[in-house]
Structure 1
Amino acid sequence: MKSGVCRSAILAVALALGLVGCATVEQPDPLEKLNRKTFAFNETVDQYLIAPPARVYREVVPSVARQGIDNFFNNLRDVWSAFNLILQGRFGDSANDVMRFGTNTVFGLVGFVDWASALGLAPHYEDFGQTLGVWGFDAGAYLVLPVLGPSSARDAVGLPVDLLASPDQVVESVRLRNALTGLRVINTRAGLLDATGLLDDIALDKYSFVRDAYLQRRRSLVEDGRRRDAGAVEEDYVPDEPATPASAPAEPASAPVPQARP
Structure 2
Amino acid sequence: MTRYLVTGAAGMLGQDLQLALAGRDVTALSRADLDVTDQSAVSAAVAGHDVVINAAAYTKVDDAESHEEAATAVNARGAETLATAAAASGARLVQVSTDYVFDGTGTAPYAEDGPTRPLGVYGRTKAAGEDAVRAILPDASYIVRTAWLYGAHGPNFAKTMVRLAGSHDTVSVVTDQVGQPTWTGDLARQVVAMLDADAPAGTYHGTNAGQASWFDFTRAIFSAVGLDPERVLPTDSSAFVRPAPRPAYSVLGHDGWAAAGIPPMRDWRQALDAAVAAGVLDQP
Q: Which has the higher contact order (CA 8 A, sep 6+)?
A: 1
* TM-score normalized by the length of structure 2: 0.25
* TM-score normalized by the length of structure 1: 0.26
Task: Name the structure where strand makes up a greater proportion of residues.
Answer: 2
